[in-house]
Amino acid sequence: MDTEKIKGKFKELFGEGGVAYSSPGRINLIGEHTDYNGGFVLPGAIDKAIYCVIKPNGTNRVRAYAPDENPATVALNSEFGLEEADKPAERWAQYIFGVAREMAKRGAKIPGFDVIISGDVPLGAGMSSSAALESCVGFALNDTFKLEFSLMELALIGQATEHNYVGVKCGIMDQFASCFGKEGSLIRLDCRSLEYEYFPFNPKGYRLVLINTCVAHMLGGEYNERRESCERVVAAIAKKHPEVKFLRDAKIEWLHEVAGKVSAVDYIRAEFVIEEIQRLLDTCELLNKGDYEAAGAKMYETHTGLSLKYTVSCPELDFLNEKAKEYGVTGSRVMGGGFGGCTINLVKNELYDEFVRKTIAAYEQEFNIKPKVYDVVIKDGARKL
């Protein structure tokens, strides 16, 4: 991303004095559908980010601009106040407004400001461009107006923005990774306690690549239905083991005890979650040892579980996973909630070119869609440029 170009556009629109900030998108190596079950996730910030240039404007209003480098489309403008009744109509501007409002709810005094937003996090590819935007604006406002929010508070402000101003009841992982990212490390986040620990991720001789199916199967309440499955199993286990509040608290033997007392579908979904939480813990140990081949095998196990037990895959994702296995890729799985989006792949350098070329050709032949390919590198989180 050419930040000098963004700074130049800011100067052209709003004059001198703008300061630049960035906050990255994220990947999650392993640990899917574990967050709302009180478990762990293992994200990392990536080398694709949202950028902003910002400065106070001496008013009580925000002037926001999002330049578009495509001459066929129009750049986005929005102007709004900072009171609750001033919520802008434009969805992209609601993220900026929501962050400012959530800060105000926590006692911050935020005057008017001018801001330009740009970035290179692919939209709709499961790399959390919205969390990157919230974290970027939050970090910028925090620094510009000396608000003294901690990084954890900034992540929670971003999550609250999604809940209260965008209408998405997301977990904390995306905003957390965007704020706390560290080059060469993944972060094991305990979604129950919010405690976290860094694990080394320097896979020399390997590359991380996402393959985007370019499909999104809209399956309505499928996500909520799985969440409810997990809650029903927790309730059944808790009758005998009252200390169980989340599936994360349950031993696999305790799940076996309620076989026949919950539906077969609920049982097998809960089995996946309990196995996935342990799989993530095992993967962290493998990363400490630098054993990327064994970590890759865990990724394949996760995909199989997501496809056959949690049933959140789709033909396109399963096809990409099978091709990865066929072409000798070390690890591959669906990343994110499922039903479309990307696979994340850990690929040996010497196999990379052939893997990408063959996968694109095979997928296009099978589905008549050209998949998108994104190389990603683990980088630092939100920062001032």
CB distance 173 to 31 below 8 Å: no
Pairing of strands 61-66, 113-119: parallel
How far apart are alpha carbons 184 and 379 in whole angstroms?
Answer: 7
Identify which of 204, 206, 202, 203 has the alpha carbon closest to the alpha carbon of residue 328: 206
318 as an active site residue: the answer is no
Of 114, 174, 249, 266, which is the active-site residue? Answer: 174
* Token output for 138: 């939050």
Neighbours of 15 (CB within 10 A): 11
Pairing type for strands 196-200 and 113-119 reads: unpaired
Classify each residue of 44-80 as buried b or exposed e, where b means 16 or more C-beta atoms within 10 Å of its C-beta.
Answer: bbbebbbbbbbbebeeeebbbbbbeeeeeeeeeebeb
Whole-number Å distance between alpha carbons of 323 and 336: 19
Looking at the annotation, which residues are catalytic?
A: 174
